[in-house]
């Protein structure tokens, strides 16, 4: 059994990971701006585009970290699957999940039910590993955001009904992030068959 790899030579792997970080930084910041523009989130000290300076590196690191988490802890030895369409669908799904979190931010329990309910059939079709990975991503993402909120890095300006200082729908958003990051790893980073 070979360990889960990245499917590239070391120099190409570095470039692939750098590209993954950059795409996560740019796309994540754009999606985060939906929350800022929609009045869901605010930064006490915005630097540009009403975002804080740390937002792009934070999203880049989260994208890289979640892909790495799938690869190391959940993927196993699965070979690369041709899944550019899966990445496109995962991207569209994640954008829709962000839109739901903005549009239904005033009804957090409905937003959570819709996000979690729409994730279940997508994750269950991929098996138990995908569901466990989604739960891990949701737990880690919510914990990180809660710590950042407690530190004063940003604030949710929508109903927050827990001492975590994050909305109840946030785990649902991370569940959908897990679908995209899993598709990214299996499409672009798994070893070739």
pLDDT tens digit sequence for 4-14: 455 556 667 78
Q: Which two structure tokens, joined as six digits, stand for 20?
A: 């993954």
Residues 6+ away with beta carbon under 8 Å from 167 = 40, 101, 105, 108, 111, 156, 158, 159, 160, 161
φ/ψ bin of 49: left (φ > 0), alpha (ψ from -120 to 50), beta (otherwise): left
Q: Which residues pair with residue 90 across a beta bridge?
A: none
Helix axes 84-103, 170-188, angle to 10 degrees: 170
Residue with tokens 């988490």: 69
Max mean pLDDT among 6-10, 50-54, 75-79, 156-160 falls in 50-54
Check residue 179 and give its pLDDT.
93
Would you say residue 103 has pLDDT above 80?
A: yes
Question: DSSP character for 39?
Answer: T
What pLDDT, on a 0 to 100 scale, did the predictor assign at position 9? 61
Lowest mean pLDDT among 25-34, 65-74, 132-141: 65-74
* Distance (Å) of CA 29 to CA 25, 26, 152, 162: 6, 5, 19, 25
pLDDT confidence band for 1 (50 / 70 / 90): very low
Share of the chain above pLDDT 90, in %: 65
Q: Which two three-digit tokens encode residue 171?
A: 């785990």
pLDDT at 73: 85
Give backbone dihedrals phi and psi of 52, rounded to 5 degrees, phi first.
-80, 160
pLDDT at residue 173 above 80? yes
Domain range list for the chain: 10-188
Alpha-carbon 173 to chain mean position: 7
Rounded to whole angstroms, the Cα distance separating 192 from 159 reads 46
- The torsion region of residue 151 among left (phi > 0), alpha (psi -120 to 50) and beta comes to alpha
């Amino acid at each position: 059994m070979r360990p889960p790899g990245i499917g590239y030579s070391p120099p190409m792997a570095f470039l692939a990971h750098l590209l993954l970080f950059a795409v996560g930084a740019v796309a994540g910041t754009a999606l985060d701006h939906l929350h800022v523009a929609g009045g869901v989130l605010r930064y006490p000290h915005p630097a540009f585009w009403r975002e804080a300076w740390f937002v792009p590196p934070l999203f880049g690191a989260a994208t890289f970290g979640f892909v790495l988490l799938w690869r190391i802890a959940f993927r196993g030895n699965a070979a690369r699957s041709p899944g550019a369409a899966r990445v496109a669908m995962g991207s569209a799904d994640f954008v829709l999940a962000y839109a739901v979190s903005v549009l239904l931010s005033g009804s957090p329990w409905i937003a959570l039910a819709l996000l979690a309910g729409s994730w279940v059939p997508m994750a269950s079709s991929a098996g138990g590993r995908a569901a466990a990975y989604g739960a891990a991503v949701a737990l880690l993402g919510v914990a990180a955001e809660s710590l950042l909120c407690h530190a004063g890095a940003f604030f949710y300006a929508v109903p927050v009904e827990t001492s975590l200082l994050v909305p109840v729908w946030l785990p649902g958003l991370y569940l959908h992030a897990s679908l995209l990051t899993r598709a990214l790893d299996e499409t672009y980073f798994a070893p070739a068959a």
